[in-house]
Amino acid sequence: MSDKQQQDMIFNEVTTALGDQITWRWDEQQSALLTEFSWEKKERMLTVLRQLFTEEWHRKSIKKAPKIIKAELGDLAHLTKEQLIFTRPASDKTPAFALIWWPWGHGGTYSMRLIALNNDYDDEALQQAQQNSLLNIFQRFTR
């Protein structure tokens, strides 16, 4: 299966689950699918995303994410309050992918970007990232 076919599979899986109440378009700058929607859809969208993705990162927990995720997402991994990143590792059928959840400053609109990741991560990478985070905390207290 080609990379394009895998990417289409991801996009179809996520966009179908989120329903036809939102419209997606291609964001050339970020190489991602992009949608915006009003606050009324927030809870429903979050419920679906939490079923589709295995990890949910927020401003504090992103520090515990595998380096490979943070490196690939670059500036998108610098989260502020209420911004989220959902990720899922590769499977037999799809590459790893991420969804960026971005509330707009006024609170009435949200955007999401769905991105196929070029690199994969696994449970070992997640565990290693958490161990490194705990080690950093320990080192701060023992200095």
Q: What are the per-10-residue average pLDDT scores of the chain (143 residues)?
A: 76 91 91 94 96 94 89 92 93 87 90 91 62 51 57
Residue 128 is predicted with a pLDDT of: 65
10 Å Cβ neighbour count for 117?
Answer: 19
Non-local CB neighbours of 64 within 8 Å, separated by 6+ positions: 129, 130, 133
Residue 142 is predicted with a pLDDT of: 57
CB-based contact 108:95 (threshold 8 Å): no
Helix (H, G, I), strand (E, B) or coil at 100: strand
- Domain boundaries along the sequence of the chain: 3-142
In one-letter notation, the amino acid at residue 85 is I
CB-based contact 30:107 (threshold 8 Å): no
